[in-house]
Chain A
């Protein structure tokens, strides 16, 4: 099993969700996050007071999947989240050791 964590531009969230649903992903967890990468922050000016904003708002989405789906999931996120401009985000893939569905107590692939 794999655990995919992707940082994307917030306004791309809907497209990514649709792309993942289309290939049969059963569930996604979404978090609003802030961070920086190669995309620089920006400055804000309030009546002459300048503030540098280093951390930009992003969305982090997390998906737990079977090994077999990994390539399709990564491809779906990559395609749907891309704008071609700096700041599109990253996709991280982890090995997933154990999953338990709390309601039924099922574990492993059954629980995904």
Chain B
């Protein structure tokens, strides 16, 4: 009972904090609120004051732009593509990630893994619309956004969200939903590191803290900007850079989430598995995957869903989506092959687990690069990432003795770091890359290796440090509040029956 109370208290504090800030914010921006107050925008309870404010407001200010206004084209092709992409990312998380991870644990912990991915996804979906979207995608400081769009205030079906082409927009609700799936799958990636031993309640509380203080700032720093239409001249570019997230302003390239998603989650996983400690019997008892069949099914769903993740990150159905699409296909193929050959030429056999691990490593590595590098660059990235990840999961992990149960660090952080750095190399048009769009000249910007790599390294280091510090503090706080690890007895018995009261298989 005390356990439940402490969870409620924590969620409550976060929730009320957000609400209070929204009220504060609203009074400061009454004119903005007027835009929300369209009759069909049935305002949720916390924003009830908005319509009143609208009545009192003097003549309505210049209305916020809407889809369909001049210069704000929201076409049905892009809209349709983003609906599909969002569904695909949802497919990656549930069931893809759940089955991929689930097959890798022992039979007695299958449901705990499925449950954690499913519930984290649901929890983050709610938090994202309450305050996450606003913190990540509104201006404020270069490190943390504001609460102006908390509870999705001000967003209507006709609100436009910028893409990467001037004059082209997508409905903001879809942008919110698409980014929601990213925010929801990222914390779920972490659970692989501490699988088979963390308390379910502690998982949820940890995820709320980590999402708020690691994911949201990182997403804001890397992806928040005013959109291409805000850039017309060199001066306006400076204004955009000043308003944008810190790493965006530095010129760090991360097309679909190498730093925000993979390094961020991978490092959190490493910290979590070290703080929690090894599983009982680690290194002595057999902990072989209970169903590589389900792992293969999950990895395949990840691959399919990743087209939405990567090509969807282009936000439009155009040639760059095509580039991200083909890169996602071939880098993954190349990485599958190279992991298999590393095993085969080494002392083991070409294994199914090796093949799917390579595929996931390839998907991770191409994520930041997919809209920037050329197809041949993608193949090189794919071929190179697997041996590096293999070295970490099959050698470094045992040398250092940490129990990253499902190799979240070895695949996501290591693959993510490699991918982020490789993006800086292969974006170079001389190496077949697509280059970076210069919105002032509307051409491709000149490539500068040193500047680009400095930006990439800054982003990588920022993600590592931020995620490590937030994860460590969050775990310690949760440990003090409710304890992070299950009892030895429940761990031996398995989390399915002890934490969830069910069994995955009956025979």
Enumerate chain A interface residues (CB-CB to B < 8 A).
44-49, 51
- B395's partner among A44, A45, A48 (CB-CB below 8 A) is A48
Q: Is the CB of A47 within 8 A of B288?
A: no
In the bound complex, CA of A77 to CA of B353 (Å): 38
B397: chain A residues at CB < 8 Å are 48
Residue of B nearest to A51 (CB): B286
Q: Is the CB of A48 within 8 A of B288?
A: no
Q: Is the CB of B349 within 8 A of A48?
A: no
Quick one: CB contact mask for B320-346 with A, threshold 8 Å, 1 for yes?
Answer: 000000000000000000000001000
- A47's partner among B286, B349, B353 (CB-CB below 8 A) is B353
B313 at the interface (CB under 8 A from A): no
Q: Is the CB of B393 within 8 A of A51?
A: no
In the bound complex, CA of A48 to CA of B398 (Å): 9
Quick one: CB contact mask for B289-308 with A, threshold 8 Å, 1 for yes?
Answer: 10000000000000000000
Quick one: CB contact mask for B389-400 with A, threshold 8 Å, 1 for yes?
Answer: 010011101100
How close is A43's CB to chain B, nearest CB, in angstroms?
9
Q: Is the CB of A46 within 8 A of B398?
A: no
Q: Is the CB of B287 within 8 A of A49?
A: yes
Q: Is the CB of A48 within 8 A of B393?
A: yes
In the bound complex, CA of A91 to CA of B112 (Å): 44
Report, as a range, how many residues of chain B touch the other chain: 10 to 19
In the bound complex, CA of A51 to CA of B348 (Å): 12
Enumerate chain B interface residues (CB-CB to A < 8 A).
286-289, 343, 348-349, 351, 353-354, 357, 390, 393-395, 397-398, 407
A46: chain B residues at CB < 8 Å are 288-289, 351, 353
How close is A27's CB to chain B, nearest CB, in angstroms?
24
How close is A66's CB to chain B, nearest CB, in angstroms?
36
Q: Is the CB of B288 within 8 A of A51?
A: yes
Q: Is the CB of A47 within 8 A of B407?
A: yes
Q: Is the CB of A45 within 8 A of B398?
A: no
B398: chain A residues at CB < 8 Å are 48-49
Decide yes or no: A45 and B407 within 8 Å by CB, A51-B286, A51-B288 being known contacts: no
How close is A41's CB to chain B, nearest CB, in angstroms?
12
Residue of A nearest to B104 (CB): A46
19 example contacts (A-B, Cβ-Cβ < 8 A) are as follows A44-B288, A45-B343, A45-B348, A45-B351, A46-B288, A46-B289, A46-B351, A46-B353, A47-B357, A47-B390, A47-B393, A47-B407, A48-B390, A48-B397, A48-B398, A49-B394, A49-B398, A51-B286, A51-B288
In the bound complex, CA of A51 to CA of B283 (Å): 10
Closest 6 CB pairs of A and B: A48-B394, A45-B348, A51-B286, A47-B393, A51-B288, A47-B394
How close is B146's CB to chain A, nearest CB, in angstroms?
43
A49: chain B residues at CB < 8 Å are 287-288, 394, 398
How close is B193's CB to chain A, nearest CB, in angstroms?
14
How close is B319's CB to chain A, nearest CB, in angstroms?
38
In the bound complex, CA of A108 to CA of B287 (Å): 49
Residue of A nearest to B287 (CB): A49
How close is B491's CB to chain A, nearest CB, in angstroms?
19
How close is A18's CB to chain B, nearest CB, in angstroms?
28
In the bound complex, CA of A2 to CA of B393 (Å): 55
Residue of A nearest to B343 (CB): A45
Decide yes or no: A45 and B357 within 8 Å by CB, A51-B286, A51-B288 being known contacts: no
How close is A34's CB to chain B, nearest CB, in angstroms?
13
Residue of B nearest to A45 (CB): B348
Residue of B nearest to A48 (CB): B394
Contacts A47-B407, A49-B288 aside, 8 further interface pairs with beta carbons under 8 A come to A45-B343, A45-B349, A46-B289, A46-B351, A47-B353, A48-B393, A49-B394, A51-B288
Residue of A nearest to B339 (CB): A47
B390: chain A residues at CB < 8 Å are 47-48
In the bound complex, CA of A49 to CA of B354 (Å): 12
Which of the listed residues A44, A46, A51 has the most CB atoms from chain B within 10 Å of its own CB?
A46
B393: chain A residues at CB < 8 Å are 47-48
In the bound complex, CA of A48 to CA of B353 (Å): 11
B395: chain A residues at CB < 8 Å are 48
In the bound complex, CA of A47 to CA of B397 (Å): 10
Which of the listed residues A44, A45, A47, A51 has the most CB atoms from chain B within 10 Å of its own CB?
A47
How close is B104's CB to chain A, nearest CB, in angstroms?
8
In the bound complex, CA of A48 to CA of B287 (Å): 12
How close is B506's CB to chain A, nearest CB, in angstroms?
17
In the bound complex, CA of A47 to CA of B409 (Å): 14
In the bound complex, CA of A51 to CA of B284 (Å): 9
How close is A97's CB to chain B, nearest CB, in angstroms?
33
In the bound complex, CA of A48 to CA of B347 (Å): 10
Q: Is the CB of A47 within 8 A of B287?
A: no
How close is A55's CB to chain B, nearest CB, in angstroms?
11
B353: chain A residues at CB < 8 Å are 46-47
How close is A60's CB to chain B, nearest CB, in angstroms?
18
A44: chain B residues at CB < 8 Å are 288
How close is A53's CB to chain B, nearest CB, in angstroms?
8
B287: chain A residues at CB < 8 Å are 49
In the bound complex, CA of A49 to CA of B289 (Å): 11
A51: chain B residues at CB < 8 Å are 286, 288
B286: chain A residues at CB < 8 Å are 51
In the bound complex, CA of A46 to CA of B343 (Å): 10
In the bound complex, CA of A48 to CA of B390 (Å): 8
In the bound complex, CA of A72 to CA of B343 (Å): 49
In the bound complex, CA of A48 to CA of B348 (Å): 9
How close is B406's CB to chain A, nearest CB, in angstroms?
9
B289: chain A residues at CB < 8 Å are 46
In the bound complex, CA of A47 to CA of B340 (Å): 11
How close is B150's CB to chain A, nearest CB, in angstroms?
42
